[in-house]
Structure 1
Amino acid sequence: MFYTGKIYHRRSEIHGRYKGQQYGGISTPADHSYIFIFTGDAGSEYGYIDNFDTNGTFKYTGEGQEGDMKMSKGNLAIRDHRINNKEILLFEYVSQGFVRFLGNCNYVFHHIEERPDRNGDLRDAIIFHLDIVNTQNTDTAQTLTPKTVEAIKAVYITKPSKGTSLQKLREIALSSTPIQATTEEKIQSIQNRSMAIKLYAKKRAGGICEGCGEMAPFETKSGPYLEVHHLTRLADGGTDLPHNVIALCPTCHRKAHYSLNYLEFNTRLIDKIADIEATLRYQSVKE
């Protein structure tokens, strides 16, 4: 089992246990139900640019260093992971040899676009659009039947607003898109979760910076001004989960990115949000 936000040594802690290709962006162990995919900045000069699309999906570049990418091997494994009962596990490089686990992914769709290969020649590249899901709800998402889809649509297609309750925002943020949903419904779900998590973080803060504990610096038409910061990077987008977001005043937000001790500061923020979320979950159970 891998834990979101935890750092692992790729060679010893991942491949040493599960095998699979030790190099490249996609690893498909033969004897395990995992597909490991790795992202980072190192391959950008060769056309491997992974980031978030405007629709909220995470765009992940397929494998193949020269010529047009083919829908085979690792690329095919990603596209057909549901059919083959495989889980896609996403990791991000944090330093040489070390990667941070960012969560499970589901394939939504893919497109083809021109990107340079390692020789600088333009070629057709496969760009996967992935849904980074809440692993707590993965089993639920996979076992849904057509009879139950309509019952839970109210959660995953509900558009959140400032007036939505904290608990409802949490439910939307933690919802997983059913595999029976159409591509359009999946994208709507991703967008709703992204909107819900930002509203959730601000509502949870209640107008007080969750970093320094001071009141928001000023009021806006939509309420106290606080900025939502993702605690794990993923190209500065981060995963949209309650334990990975914090509402900060502008000063604390910049401190989390640019201060000399930003790593230490972020670690403190992670611990603080973990305590806040644990308290909220306990209160929810009591109610």
Structure 2
Amino acid sequence: MRRSHHTNTLVIISNHVKSIYDDRWEADTLHYTGMGTNGDQSLSFAQNKTLAESQTNGVRVHLFEVFIDKEYTYVGEVELCGTPYQEPQRDENGNSRLAYVFPLKVLTGTRAVSLSDQQALDSQREKKASKLSNESLKERAEKSRKQPSTFQQSSTQYERSIWVAEYAKRLANGICQLCLNPAPFENAKGDPYLETHHIVWLAKGGEDTIANTVALCPNCHKKMHIVDDKKDVETLLLRAKQWVDAA
């Protein structure tokens, strides 16, 4: 966060590439992590105080996002839309600490993300997710928002959690969770090829959670989108719960 007394503005940057902070969009609200890379964060520290008091101190807040290293995308002016709250996050040394999170909304317009930026971000997250331990991956998956954020391209898109998707594949362990057959082939990395699927579709109000996400072979995945049989849905919900409980 950078403040300018000359213009009475505060610039905040949500870096989705390198930052240790766990910024996330939930619907149209950005939950932005405050300053402080080690130990518990404080609302009286530096620009945390400025942002926390931005509804009364007259400071205008401008948001940039980073999807590709060193490329800054201007989102717009934002405002605090709720009370800052604390949640456990990892610091730069990997230790658990309490961080302050600021709920922010864009004042005008709709958050827009280019397809290339979203693809670059997904690629970065997939690489990071593949290197995490099962324990770390489960922790991130459980913390992921239940309702995915949306953004505008030519139509509304859903920003799915990479952590949830990767964890679902880990739980499946190379076996389709509907037909219970091994993945039909391996990808270029030698991993069993399965596709993640939301049992209750996001477009129908389904949650982006490990309890609503399974890994399917391409054939069963296509079947779920074309047929969407209620018995298959019930079977997958039951199996997803069993696998999550057993993990």
| TM bucket, shorter chain | 0.3 to 0.5
Point out the structure with the larger strand share.
Answer: 2
Point out the structure with the larger helix share.
Answer: 1
